[in-house]
Homo-oligomer: A and B are copies of this chain.
């Protein structure tokens, strides 16, 4: 872990070089030329941001094979002052690697992070029926370990691993789900908002006022009445008592979109506790289609109309 000199900004990520999180980091233009701090877990990454050691941290937030998703959501819900400033997708795929010259029929023991091992189980059971498994601390550590000891003949690793280690690929695309993707977010302490691009996402965490039936419905009406679509909703236990949940929500659009801003106002009034996590460009760059009824001008027009009434201007 290299120290960040004063003049160079640092970014924290779940390392080492070659992990899926590292792949996500490579998609961040501003991180080029910066110091990359490899950390061991989400807590450490966010800690770097909170203490100022790093300007931002890349963390998995959905569907990760490296774990940490719930941890991420809970961290964002409880650590004030964090903002998501970007979103990145990394295809989750695995290769089986070995020391140069090894053939697949030579493999007796496979080294793999337990979660990655589970994701490739179907392939491994069929290709190497009687193999043994040695757990590793990370996907990259499994591969790197091949060069340090002969306990295992092969390792499960991310595809880019051969750029960093003298290993050979025995099999590609060995994950059970070929379309698996992990979603990462870049988290910072900045209060500036990323520019509106037209293909944006807004993340919030919201608590319900109480446990009465229909409360979640009431909350969602705040979005529906403004034509705001949700792309993600998850309930997470608040942790102070069983049965108390908060909701992690992703909305289509940017807080600078009138309909999103108005929905957030409604949410803030409704909920005893709303955390705004950020508005940022969507990783898939898909433009949000807004029904004309909810365009910015409709909001502006309505305000002008109301102002006319309040000021005693021309009648409607």
Q: Which residues of A contact B (CB under 8 A)?
A: 40-41, 43, 62-63, 67-71, 80-83, 113-115, 118, 121, 133, 135-138, 177, 179, 181, 191-193, 209, 211-214, 216-218, 220-235, 237, 239, 242-243, 245, 255-256, 261-262, 264-266, 268-270, 274-276, 284, 286, 291, 293-294, 298-299, 301-303, 305-306, 309-310, 312-316
Contact yes or no, B270 A293, CB < 8 A:
yes
Contact of A302 among B216, B223, B226, B265 (CB under 8 A): B265
* Most interface-central of A226, A294, A301 (chain B CB within 10 A): A226
Bound form: Cα–Cα A71–B270 in Å:
34
Query: Which residues of chain B come closer than 8 Å to A237, judged between CB atoms?
Result: 62-63
Bound form: Cα–Cα A235–B265 in Å:
24
State the Cβ distance, A115 to closest chain B Cβ, in Å: 6
Query: Which residues of chain B come closer than 8 Å to A192, judged between CB atoms?
Result: 312
Give the nearest-CB partner of A242 in chain B: B284
Contact yes or no, A217 B221, CB < 8 A:
yes
Contact yes or no, B264 A306, CB < 8 A:
yes
State the Cβ distance, A65 to closest chain B Cβ, in Å: 10
Query: Which residues of chain B come closer than 8 Å to A67, judged between CB atoms?
Result: 67, 114-115, 118
Contact yes or no, B121 A137, CB < 8 A:
no
* Given A221-B221, A225-B222, A239:B313 Cβ within 8 A: no
* Given A67-B115, A135-B136, A193:B310 Cβ within 8 A: yes
State the Cβ distance, A256 to closest chain B Cβ, in Å: 7
Give the nearest-CB partner of A74 in chain B: B177
State the Cβ distance, A33 to closest chain B Cβ, in Å: 25
- Since A80-B316, A211-B229, A218-B225 are in contact, a sample of 13 more A-B pairs with Cβ atoms closer than 8 Å, ordered by chain A residue number, is A40-B121, A80-B315, A114-B137, A114-B138, A135-B136, A217-B223, A221-B225, A232-B245, A233-B234, A261-B310, A266-B302, A269-B298, A269-B299
Bound form: Cα–Cα A72–B275 in Å:
29
Bound form: Cα–Cα A70–B183 in Å:
14
Contact yes or no, B41 A302, CB < 8 A:
no
Contact of A217 among B62, B118, B179, B220 (CB under 8 A): B220
Give the nearest-CB partner of A231 in chain B: B243
Contact yes or no, A191 B268, CB < 8 A:
no
State the Cβ distance, A315 to closest chain B Cβ, in Å: 5
Bound form: Cα–Cα A233–B226 in Å:
22
Query: Which residues of chain B come closer than 8 Å to A275, judged between CB atoms?
Result: 316
* Given A221-B221, A298-B269, A121:B261 Cβ within 8 A: no
Bound form: Cα–Cα A232–B265 in Å:
25
Give the nearest-CB partner of A41 in chain B: B118
Query: Which residues of chain B come closer than 8 Å to A306, judged between CB atoms?
Result: 255, 261, 264-265, 268
Contact yes or no, B209 A293, CB < 8 A:
yes
Query: Which residues of chain B come closer than 8 Å to A137, judged between CB atoms?
Result: 114, 133, 135
